[in-house]
């Protein structure tokens, strides 16, 4: 089984996969170091309190909810009629009956509409913390330091070399093929 992330990394490292394992690991460490540096610097430049992705989602939701109707129930509860159904938004518990807000962590269309109804320009305070610029910067804050050069490594005095296991029984699976000769291990 594979995932999109594994496929992306495989496609990214087509040539490097042919390297010896130590060089391949150096490549991946350098790649990750570069990604952390770029993402940390990019997040530092954001002008909005939410990530770019979260901000674009919030903007789309705001445009979608323009024609809906809001009626207040009390200070924290609001009833929204979105044309097809009615939802109650609870600002004190950060919940909506559509459950999109609770599931995604970003305010749903109904919660965004309540912010506009209350004359608030920005509803980023309703999003979970992990969508904020501060959280993204702190995610990439830890530096990834390179390993020292191999000739600088110090071998411990009580070092015991690791040998491969002794295989006395033939392992299950396909036999090893060397040319036309079949060898059963």
Q: How far apart are CA 24 and CA 19, in angstroms?
A: 6
Question: pLDDT for 33-88, tens place per residue?
Answer: 999 999 888 888 888 889 889 999 998 998 888 888 999 899 999 999 888 788 99
**Dist. CA 27–CA 19, nearest whole Å:** 9
H or E element: which one contains 27?
helix 21-44
| The model scores a pTM over 0.75 | no
Residue whose pair of structure tokens reads 């305010």 in the numeric block: 107
């Amino acid at each position: 089984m594979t995932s999109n992330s594994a496929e992306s990394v495989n496609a990214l490292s087509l040539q490097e996969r042919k390297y010896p394992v130590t060089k391949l690991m150096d490549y991946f460490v350098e790649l990750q170091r570069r990604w952390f540096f770029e993402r940390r610097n990019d997040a530092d430049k954001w002008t909005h309190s939410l990530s770019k992705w979260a901000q674009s989602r919030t903007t789309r939701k705001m445009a979608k909810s323009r024609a809906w109707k809001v009626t207040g129930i009390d200070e924290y509860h609001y009833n929204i009629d979105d044309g097809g159904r009615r939802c109650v938004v609870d600002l004190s518990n950060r919940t909506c009956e559509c459950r999109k807000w609770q599931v995604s962590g970003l305010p749903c269309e109904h919660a965004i509409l309540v912010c506009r109804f209350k004359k608030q320009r920005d509803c980023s305070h309703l999003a979970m913390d992990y969508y904020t610029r501060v959280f993204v910067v702190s995610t990439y804050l830890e530096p990834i330091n390179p390993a020292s050069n191999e000739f600088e490594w110090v071998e411990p005095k009580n070092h015991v070399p690791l040998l491969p296991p002794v295989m006395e029984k033939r392992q299950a699976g396909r036999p090893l093929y060397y040319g036309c000769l079949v060898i059963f291990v």
